[in-house]
Amino acid sequence: MNIRANIFLTIAVAATLLLTACADNNKIILPNDPIGRPIIGLILKSITATTTQRMLVNTVEYQKKKNTFNIIIEGTVTPNSVAKQEELVRKMIEAGVDAIVIDPINRTTALKELKKAIDKGIPVVNIDIPFDKKTMEALDIDIPYIAPDNEKAAENIADYVISKMGDSNELIILEGMPQTALGEERTKGFIKSIDKNNKTLNSIYLVPWSDNEIKEILKKALTAHPGTKAVLTCTDTIAFYACQAINDLGLTGKVLVGTIGYQHKSIQSLITKGKVTAAANLHHDKYGIDGIELALNLLADREHSLDDVRTSTTIITAKNAPVMSMQTSDETTNPDDESKNTTPSKRKN
């Protein structure tokens, strides 16, 4: 599948973007820019996914508005095409892009290829999924990561939900598929909040990212743990199915839901109706812009810090939905400024 052609079809504003399609599908052809503006290679995963498309629209509009750089967008159709993403990195290097911004498939994808880019003086920026620090150390490379602090965002969402639980103590976590970096970080944040607020974690369930099976798993979990007052989910899609399960059991309003993410098409409605207590908006639609801005800074100043950069998150509740404040700090904005900080509890897993 020609991903670049697909972008042209699905993003109207891309018509005027310097986005290249390879005539032979083997090489990336860079735009001929007489002004000599830097060329940023943006490599993504799941490029046809709705959330990625939103990010691309914003990125394209940002490039048109700034008009100080060119951009080449490449990506994989699926979220697990490791070999394809590694190939795209090699093609970007061969084409001679000035910098690479990558949303990797996993924590080690293409690191060996990216080392070759760095050795050639091509700055690399990591967005969304963080690269593994130990692997980078072994390769003697340092790639700055710019993204929200998922663990802190999850902790703050859990703090907010717990502040609404009253004297009830029991919670359930729906993590998502196992061995995913962001899911693990978010679960850590949830657990940290549960511990410090002296609440009880009944169990952590690994569920599909998007499937009706989520409903059945949660129904069984709530039946097994009838004292559960809140469910914390690692994605807004999981929250969507969780709300359905809670509704099927006649527990809407009795079991609270807190989630990470504000991208699902129904999440805003679920919040305004009170079915989701709070969601952490990670501003995923700005990830591409954030990465490109950092890449441009690295090109402008070769001595620029390679430290990780944490972007903001916003807690969305019925009080402030659909307003999505774009904070400039790296802290999660809490509409109530409520949190409890007491002694850790013993968890039941």
| Residues 122-167: tens digit of each pLDDT | 999 999 999 999 999 999 999 999 999 999 999 999 999 999 999 9
Asked if pLDDT for residue 19 goes beyond 80, the answer is: no
Label residue 177 by pLDDT band (50, 70, 90).
confident
* Domain locations in the chain as residue ranges: 3-143, 150-283+312-333
Q: Is residue 349 predicted with pLDDT exceeding 80?
A: no
Amino acid identity at 326: M
Q: Do domains 3-143 and 150-283+312-333 have the same CATH topology?
A: yes
Give the pLDDT confidence score for residue 204 in this predicted structure: 96
Q: Does domain 150-283+312-333 have CATH number 3.40.50.2300?
A: yes
Query: Given a cut of 90, is residue 337 above it in pLDDT?
Result: no
Q: What number does CATH give the domain 3-143? A: 3.40.50.2300
Q: Are 27 and 91 in contact (CB under 8 A)?
A: yes
pTM exceeds 0.85: no
Instruction: Decide: helix, strand or coil at residue 142.
Output: coil
123 closest CA partner among 94, 96, 142, 100: 100
Q: Is the pLDDT of residue 340 over 50?
A: no
Mean pLDDT of all residues in 4-25:
40
Cα–Cα distance, 205 to 82 (Å, whole number): 27
Give backbone dihedrals phi and psi of 32, rounded to 5 degrees, phi first: -90, 100
For residue 65, pLDDT over 80 is answered with: yes
> pLDDT class for 25, splitting at 50, 70, 90?
low
Q: How many Å apart are CA 33 and CA 37, to the nearest integer?
A: 7
Q: Taking Cα atoms as reference points, which of 222, 186, 170, 151 lies closest to residue 348?
A: 170
Q: For residues 1 and 87, what is the distance between their CA atoms, to the nearest angstrom?
A: 15
